[in-house]
Amino acid sequence: MPAVPAVLCRGVVKRFYRYEHRTRSLRELFVRAFLRRPIHVRHAEFSLAGFDLRVEPGEAVALIGSNGSGKSTALRLIAGIYVPTEGIIETRGRLTAVIELGAGLQPELTGLENVSLYAAVLGLTRRELAARLPEILEFADLGDFIREPVKYYSSGMQARLAFSVALCVRPDVLLLDEVLAVGDQDFRHRCLERLREHLRRGGALVVVSHDVETVRELCARAVWLERGRVRMEGPAREVIAAYEAEGPGR
């Protein structure tokens, strides 16, 4: 086992504050501040209450759990989008997170223009992009549509475009949130192939997914989150079996 993990989370706590605003306008804010009355009431809500995760290079880990269990929060914390309330998060090397597929796409720009913008969003330099552009276009396989504005794309085509860029970044750590369900069978198949290649190359992968099939195919290990805590962790098959045994009606 390598000495340094690709992703390391230790005792990560994320508390969101739900602010019950006493003020809805600046005027009220000033009046209250002047009278020294409380401006808002803070309610702490735990999204993650002590989360530990260690992912080695070349390893794929799935985060599973019901809605609101903290999976996406965990992913956003690892990606550096959220700052943890407590605990330590370390990642090694280039990190790419695909959390909302198409969130970085600009509908007014063409597919090609979006590729260069999204590549910049994900941290590719211009030179790296130039070198990988043929690969990206081949993988997206959008034909002449690549020169049309993205607003005319179907959601599947948008997903393919964004995903092609993300995969060609060749990150050391790849974070995916519910993005494998898009695209047709053929594209899904090619994506899985590409993800396996990513793992063979020593890349780490953290996937959030409800798609049990994909998780089983791709990940050796799974972490089951429940209400912000790790309920179970272990070999993917066992964890999924236990998770499914709880039944869908929960």
User: According to CB under 8 A, which one of 108, 144, 184, 186 is a site residue for another protein?
Assistant: 108
DSSP H stretches of helix in 169-231 = 185-200, 212-218
Smallest separation, CB 244 to another protein (Å) = 29
Least distance (Å) from another protein to the CB of residue 109?
6
Binding mask 120-159 for another protein (x = CB under 8 A): xxxxxxx---------------------------------
- Closest-CA residue to 104 (of 165, 183, 174, 184): 165
| CA–CA dist 89, 209 (Å, integer) | 21
Q: How far is the CB of 243 from another protein (least distance, A)?
A: 26
Q: With residue 204 as reference, give the H or E element that holds it.
A: strand 204-208
| Bridge partners, residue 95, by sequence | 173
Binding mask 2-31 for another protein (x = CB under 8 A): --------------x--------xxx-x--
State the minimum distance, in angstroms, from the CB of residue 95 to another protein: 8
Q: Is 56 in the site for another protein (CB under 8 A)?
A: no
Instruction: State yes or no: residue 93 binds another protein (CB under 8 A).
Output: yes
User: Is residue 81 involved in binding another protein (CB under 8 A)?
Assistant: yes
Euclidean distance between CA atoms 129 and 133, whole angstroms? 6
CB-CB contact of 73 with 227 (8 Å): no
Identify the H or E element spanning 30: helix 26-35
Binding residue for another protein, selected from 61, 79, 136, 159, defined by CB under 8 A: 79
Residue 103 found at the interface with another protein (CB under 8 A): yes
Sign of the C-alpha dihedral computed for residues 248, 241, 214 and 171 taken in this order: positive
The CB-of-38 to another protein minimum distance in angstroms stands at 16
